[in-house]
Structure 1
Amino acid sequence: MSEMNTFEDAIRFAINHEEEEAKFYEGMAKRSTSEDQKKAMLAHADEEYDHKRRLEAILANKRLPVSSRITADPDMKVAEMLVVKDRGGNIGYEDALILAAKREKQASRFYRALADTAPNPELAEIFSFLAEQEAKHGKQIEQKYDDAQREG
């Protein structure tokens, strides 16, 4: 990881991360075993691209929008208990959700660790915001997993 000492460094890092996550979801869509799964993965990709656009706007404005600050519960216990089954090239919807939830949890923890060790309050605020966004996304994915379990 490159050194992040400035506001711009932190936001650029986050923008790159969100783009990587969007591409991950696009890749999962290509591996989907159903049209519904493909649509869900592409919707997650769209959310990550939305995060990227919001971060780009933050970079342009050089501040966090107050309306975007949320309080999210980062305790995603379901993601800790689940195991992704390797099925080769294609991946089932529930397995895709498990993998996605784990990635979101990992991203939230990563951003939280960066917030806790940030060299100044401005960077801490940025990374806390990102950790909350990833935690919220993870909770949404876990809810989809729970719904799929009830339906299945």
Structure 2
Amino acid sequence: MKIFRTFEEIIDYAIDKEMNEIEFYSNLAERMDRKNVRELFRNIALEKTARMLRLEKMKDLKMDFDMDEIQDMKIAGSLEQVDHTKTDLSYQEALILAMKKEKEKFKFYSKMADTAVNEECRNTFLALAKEEARQKLKFEIEYDEFVLVEN
């Protein structure tokens, strides 16, 4: 379980997750045969880069949270059972893993928004949550249009 003590720890955690996802989606893009899927994963990696930079800027804002509410986020690594280091991920597996990652980040940013004390902070985390939801939807559409159709 992840325990946060300060705002900086929250932001550092979020930045670390974004950096991991940038690497994950970039590597995934290189392994995909379909051009449209490579582009989808590359674009998501670029969006994650922009989000990471946005989080870096938030460090300077010194925003407030109800730390009692977020000390135990119950982030126990729900994706650890999925082997995302596997080099032979199928197209379907890659999309499922991507959807799960985006859902977890959506929940994280939503929780941060719920516990933010000031409106600027709350709105920023709500915007980040919406971006994660939008990215998950992109993967869902891709899955629906290309994986379900093929099966």
Distance 1:39-1:89 versus aligned 2 partners, 3 A rule: same
**Over residues 2-42 of structure 1, what are the superposed CA-to-partner deviations in whole Å (9 max), with x where a residue is unaligned?**
4333xx66555433332221111123234x24142433322
Partner of 2:87, secondary structure, is coil
Matches for 1:104-123 after TM superposition, within 5 Å: 104-118=102-116, 120-121=117-118, 122-123=120-121
- Distance in 1, matches of 2:26 and 2:83, equals 20
Which one of 6, 22, 33 corresponds to residue 4 of structure 1? 6
Q: TM-score, normalised by structure 2?
A: 0.65
- Distance in 2, matches of 1:33 and 1:99, equals 14
- Distance in 1, matches of 2:111 and 2:89, equals 31
- Determine what percentage of the aligned residue pairs are the same residue: 31
Unaligned runs of 5+ in 1: 63-83
Q: TM-score, normalised by structure 1?
A: 0.64
How many residue pairs align between the two structures? 126
Unaligned runs of 5+ in 2: 62-81
Distance 1:127-1:10 versus aligned 2 partners, 3 A rule: farther
Is 1:89 aligned to residue 91 of structure 2? no
Aligned-residue RMSD, C-alpha: 3.1
**Over residues 47-96 of structure 1, what are the superposed CA-to-partner deviations in whole Å (9 max), with x where a residue is unaligned?**
21122234445667x5xxxxxxxxxxxxxxxxxxxxx799x531122221
* Aligned amino acid, residue 6 of structure 2: M
Distance 1:125-1:40 versus aligned 2 partners, 3 A rule: closer
Matches for 1:61-140 after TM superposition, within 5 Å: 62=61, 89-118=87-116, 120-121=117-118, 122-140=120-138
Contact 1:108/1:131 (CA < 8 Å) preserved in 2? yes
Partner of 1:34, secondary structure, is coil
- Distance in 1, matches of 2:5 and 2:126, equals 18
